[in-house]
């Protein structure tokens, strides 16, 4: 196939702010986890699929399989749908005392 550019599991985006490796990054409708550090306005690769431990809202609780949303203001995973972007689902229960959550990113653009 001559017109395929890449698989799309990892894509390059322009960092909307300072990005550190392992942080969630939302650019328009594209969400992924940064593969490296990047200054605002520079290119960074993001992984759009896979299971990642991400910073999460410490007050939230979630059961395995529950929907996971990205709160782009707080830069963390949450269970709150309102004003946030659906990015995948929790692959393990998340307790209120946990500051991270294990999340499956499904790579779907919403």
Domains in the chain (CATH in brackets) are 10-106 (2.40.300)
What pLDDT sits at residue 7?
82
Buried b (16+ CB within 10 A) or exposed e, 38-52: beeeeebebbbbeeb
User: Do 106 and 80 form a contact (C-beta atoms < 8 A)?
Assistant: no
State pLDDT tens for residues 33-81: 999 999 999 999 999 999 999 999 999 999 999 999 999 999 999 999 9
What pLDDT sits at residue 85?
96
What pLDDT sits at residue 3?
83
pLDDT at 1 over 80: no
């Amino acid at each position: 196939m001559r017109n395929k550019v890449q698989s799309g599991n990892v894509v390059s985006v322009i960092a909307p702010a300072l990005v550190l490796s392992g942080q969630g990054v939302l650019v328009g409708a594209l969400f992924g986890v940064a593969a490296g550090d990047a200054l605002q306005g520079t290119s960074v690769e993001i992984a759009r699929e896979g299971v990642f431990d991400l910073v999460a809202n410490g007050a939230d609780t979630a059961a395995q399989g529950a929907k996971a949303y990205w709160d782009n203001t707080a830069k963390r995973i949450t269970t709150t749908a309102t004003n946030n972007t659906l990015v995948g689902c929790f692959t393990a229960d998340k307790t209120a005392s946990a500051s991270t959550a294990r999340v499956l990113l499904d790579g779907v653009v919403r």
